Structure 1
Amino acid sequence: MSTVRKHDFISVQDYLAGEELADQRHEYVAGIVCAQAGETNRHHAIATNATVALANRLRGTACRAFNSDTKVRIRNAAGTRFYYPDAMVVCRTNPPGESYQDEPVLIVEVISETTRRIDEGEKREAYLEIPSLAGYVLVEQSSHSAVVYQRDGQAGGDQAFHRSIVSGLDAVIRIEEIPLELLLGELYDDVVLGETDSPGRS
């Protein structure tokens, strides 16, 4: 998801209160509010396909799929952050009255050339610090491929995850720790690929 940052420091409480009334969604990075820019229909179609596919896989389990309307909260040494992932899976959910989740096991972001730097940089670093996270998937808009970060449990920090690339509509995304399998082609169902991106942070 792409964002446009505004350099006005606000508290977590003020941010959450403002989001309840805002017409546009904002992300929050250690006191800085980031207004989300618009996305393409292609982006939304892939994100919706991901949420539906995850929900179908998780039916009858203790885990749930959430779409991009739900924030994830990350608290670390750099401060508190709130992002809106395109899709995520949570097995230990926050109370129903809250607007965010703290313990995702899987996060999916749909990326483009304009959002690649933040999705593979700032967000990747923050997401991989979440203790509950088993996988982070970055889905391309210009090709049938995805980058998968999967926890292997043998080390700490970034070293606890290994990176792989899956490509082709018949490829399978496997997150073994959940466990969960998704056919890559499900994410691109009825989606026409192209080179045109939406604007985003650079």
Structure 2
Amino acid sequence: MLTVKMTTENSAYITEAAYLEGEKLAEERHEYVDGVLYAMAGASLRHNRIALNIVRALPLQREDGTPCDAYTSDVKVRARRHKAFYYPDVVLSCEPDNMDDCYVEKPCLIVEVTSKSTDWKDRSEKLLAYQALESLQAYLIIVQDKPHVTFYYREVDGAWWVSAYDALDQVIMLPCIDTPLSLANIYKGIDFTQPAEPEA
């Protein structure tokens, strides 16, 4: 399970530069929002399996031959307008993005595998921050305990739309790489008869 919590070192404002330097040496990862750090706990096996299923299903090249890079939860995305750095579960970038070797600024696809403790943040704070990224074309929020995917996508005119998928035979067409992603592939190997997270 991935959780976000306030840490004791958050009492003073931390600059982005100090955060990035500190994160290189930190024993645990932190997300950053306008001077405040949020520690991140480890993820469950199911959480990791879903993220890896998605990475395996992504082609690392567009139809026009443009190469793409897929990263998992150890690479940050910078949401400059929101003064934030997040660790998405999966991020795909198909544009030159060489500002820094520790974060991506021009993703075209972001995926969050949500949990009870992060659902509100994935669907509110992160949604707004991610939609402000000019390069982003799609944002997926994946539920762990049943087949359910919320698919936010940007149309050519810049408007954002949302669709929901909840059947394993459904297929999502990912716009930034023009490729289908089935719920069957997302949830491959997942046993829904077992709880996704321990009961509180």
TM-score after normalising by structure 2: 0.88
Task: Write the letter of the residue equivalent to 1:67.
Answer: T
Give the one of 26, 39, 44 matched to 1:35: 39
Give 1:115 shift: 1.4
CA contact (8 A) 1:72 1:100 kept: yes
Give 1:10 shift: 0.7
Query: Counterpart of 1:143?
Result: 146
Gaps of 5+ in 2: none
Give the one of 57, 60, 69 matched to 1:58: 60
CA distance 1:97–1:118, change in 2 (3 Å) = closer
Query: Counterpart of 2:173?
Result: 174
Percent of residue pairs bearing the same amino acid type: 37
Q: Secondary structure at the match of 1:125?
A: helix
Matches within 5 A, 1:41-190: 41-54=45-58, 57-59=59-61, 61-76=66-81, 79-95=82-98, 98-155=101-158, 160-190=159-189
Aligned residues: 191
Give deviations 1:108-135, integer Å, cap 9, x for gaps.
Answer: 0001222110000110010011000000
Q: CA RMSD in A?
A: 2.0
With CA pairs under 8 Å and 6+ residues apart, which has the higher RCO, 1 or 2? Answer: 1
Structure 2: how far apart are the matches of 1:177 and 1:48?
A: 19
CA contact (8 A) 1:105 1:133 kept: yes
Which stretches of structure 1, 4 residues or longer, exceed 4 Å deviation after superposition? none
Query: Counterpart of 1:20?
Result: 24
Give deviations 1:79-122, integer Å, cap 9, x for gaps.
Answer: 42100000011011422852000000000000122211000011
CA contact (8 A) 1:40 1:198 kept: no
